[in-house]
Structure 1
Amino acid sequence: MSDEAGSSVFLEDETHQYNHDSLRIVKDLFAGTTGGIAQVLVGQPFDTTKVRLQTSTAEDITTMKVIKDLVKHEGLKGFYKGTLTPLIGVGACVSVQFGVNEYMKRLLKTYNKTYKGIDSKILSLPQYYACGLTGGLVNSFLSSPIEHIRIRLQIQKNSGKNAEFSGPLDCIKKLLKQKQLMRGLPVMMVRAGHGLGVYFLVYEALIANQIKKKSINREDIKSWRLCLYGATAGTLLWIAVYPIDVIKSIIQSDNLKSPKYGTSLFKVGRQLYLKEGLPVFFKGLLPTMLRATPANAVTFTVFETSMRLMG
């Protein structure tokens, strides 16, 4: 074979590999988007209740009181306040989370094969954590402003002309004007980085255990197991980061012009502890745990199902 022919074959292989990788990334992102949309539709009522609890200053606040007040004053649609932003935004966020996680898994599998001589579809536990951590850090730049907007709309009790924000676009416009859209980003990076590290570590560890135990392919794992693994991963995620999430919610719901707490993770945490004690870091935990089970069960199941359908 001539050098020209060899070069031609090499270029064709390179192009094929590039197209294959690009298509895989598109599939990962699309599957993540479907999982994210499902997560929002299932979890939004729980999330609204959680945020109202976290940001309330009333001493007698309870989950049932928040729910009763929401239904009484805002109707059932009150549970879906600010849904448009997360429906679009969380779809994109979960897409990035899963997309980066899947890319990192492929990268580390190649690294293991090339430099460690380990040709396996299963990674080590620290590597699974690193994949999720990377996805969380990258995703923070997208999820932080989205959650900030959602929280501002969720805690807004007035409507019509009396409302501070008329909707998501108005909220974005006003936050940009005050240079506050990215408020809470450093705290979000801590929460999302560690949280998603735990999230994907737990899920992938359960998947890997099933593959080794049953000697089956990932595609052969039954849907009910995917639901169970997703629910478990989501629950442990929130146990790992909930106090940090409370601090983030306080920062992102604080007064824009004259903040009461500031934006530092440790400074805000210290102020909350001195004012309300340790229980403050677990306000809203019940609806969060109730949300984590169905929302994350649905997220992973829809993601895995989408991946299987696309091949």
Structure 2
Amino acid sequence: MQSDTKEIKSLPMDYRENAKDLAAGAAGGVAQVLIGQPFDIVKVRLQTQFGGSALTAARNIYAQEGARSFYKGTLVPLLGVGACVSIQFGAFHGFRQLIESYNYRNGHTKDPGLSLPQFYLAGGAAGVTNSLISGPVEHIRIRLQTQPHGDAQLYSGPWDCARKIIRLEGPAGLYRGQVVTLLREFHGYGVWFAAYEGLLGFLQHHEQKKREELPNWQIAICGGLAGEALWLLSHPLDVIKSKMQSDGFGPNQKYHNMRHAFKETWVTGGIRGLFQGLGPALLRAMPVSAGTFATVELVRKLLV
């Protein structure tokens, strides 16, 4: 006897695609660091040391610390960001599949694809997953980027920095500013993935092409514009994160929590204080995000 109950179906999880996204994300993360690190150190200096312009900060770094200093603290992000971007893309694909399966079960069998809000949700969830690694990685990177130069140098390298943080505040000290990091990662990567997928969808519809048929330069432009959207809409959270993660320890600690950091930044700098360093962040976003997505899509095509 046939059951009247409608059979609940779901789309199968594609683990091969997940593996491809992890590998492609790792390659994209390496490209992201190599392209973006010089811009990033200027941004962090502006966020944590008041006054001046991006050009002045870049000139000062070059004059006082040399050209190699634009890649100060690169080892940790090179390893860590490769892992982070790998996790971002792998997690994004996993959450995307879960939402597609949800759409399929709820009757969207013709097109179980994601809407823009759903892309935002999948990207935000991927960002939260990634924050478990990105929090400590960025904390160490920021301390290396903002420490004094020469004899006054505080840390000999990333491992020395991590050891000293743990000695002063315990393992939890590596996660300083984690609440604002979670907020930035959820919102920022929600915007990033939604903008990218939305732009790609527009191009596919406009040119009547499949995703894999789009030329690399169009992929790069979509990725670059998505990067601009990410930083425009999440920069104040990044400023607060940088301030908290470059703050002192013990009696030298200026910010007690995220709310206190927001309040102090508003009192001293107003709305402009929350957007300090936006210029180099936007300059960095276009090539870095373009390079990341172009590399990811290229590697995914190669991993057939």
Q: Choose which of 281, 291, 301 in structure 2 pairs with 1:288.
A: 281
2:184 match? 191
Any residues of structure 2 matched to 1:83-94 within 5 Å, and which? 83-94=74-85
Any residues of structure 2 matched to 1:180-259 within 5 Å, and which? 180-258=173-251, 259=253
Identity of aligned residues (%): 41
Cα distance per residue 1:53-83 (max 9 Å; x no partner): 11103x4x22122111111111110100000
Contact 2:165-2:174 at 8 Å conserved across structures? yes
2:256 match? 262
Amino acid of the structure 1 residue aligned with 2:27: T
Distance in 2 (CA, whole Å) between partners of 1:212 and 1:67 is 42
Distance in 2 (CA, whole Å) between partners of 1:109 and 1:22 is 15
Any residues of structure 2 matched to 1:1-311 within 5 Å, and which? 21-57=14-50, 59=51, 61-120=52-111, 122-159=113-150, 162-177=152-167, 178-179=169-170, 180-258=173-251, 259-264=253-258, 266-311=259-304
Contact 1:29-1:95 at 8 Å conserved across structures? yes
Runs of 4+ in 1 over 6 A off after TM superposition: none
Contact 1:202-1:233 at 8 Å conserved across structures? yes
Distance in 1 (CA, whole Å) between partners of 2:109 and 2:263 is 46
- The alpha-carbon distance between structure 1 residues 251 and 86, as it changes in their structure 2 partners (threshold 3 A), is same
Amino acid of the structure 2 residue aligned with 1:263: N
Cα distance per residue 1:20-41 (max 9 Å; x no partner): x333222111100000100100
Contact 1:183-1:263 at 8 Å conserved across structures? no
Corresponding residue SS for 2:250: coil
Distance in 2 (CA, whole Å) between partners of 1:111 and 1:278 is 41
Cα distance per residue 1:152-176 (max 9 Å; x no partner): 00011223x6421110011111112
1:5 match? none
Amino acid of the structure 1 residue aligned with 2:254: K
Distance in 2 (CA, whole Å) between partners of 1:291 and 1:102 is 25
Amino acid of the structure 2 residue aligned with 1:75: G
Residue 256 (structure 1) shift: 1.8
Contact 2:103-2:113 at 8 Å conserved across structures? no
Root mean square deviation, CA, Å: 1.5
Q: What are the ranges of 5 or more consecutive residues in structure 2 without an aligned counterpart?
A: 1-11
Matched positions, count: 289
Residue 110 (structure 1) shift: 2.0
Residue 128 (structure 1) shift: 0.4
Amino acid of the structure 1 residue aligned with 2:303: M
Q: In terms of mean alpha carbon deviation, does 181-190 or 207-216 score higher?
A: 207-216
Cα distance per residue 1:258-288 (max 9 Å; x no partner): 3112222x32111111122221111111111
Corresponding residue SS for 1:44: helix
Distance in 1 (CA, whole Å) between partners of 2:261 and 2:147 is 22
Contact 1:109-1:119 at 8 Å conserved across structures? no
Distance in 2 (CA, whole Å) between partners of 1:298 and 1:119 is 33
Residue 121 (structure 1) shift: 6.2
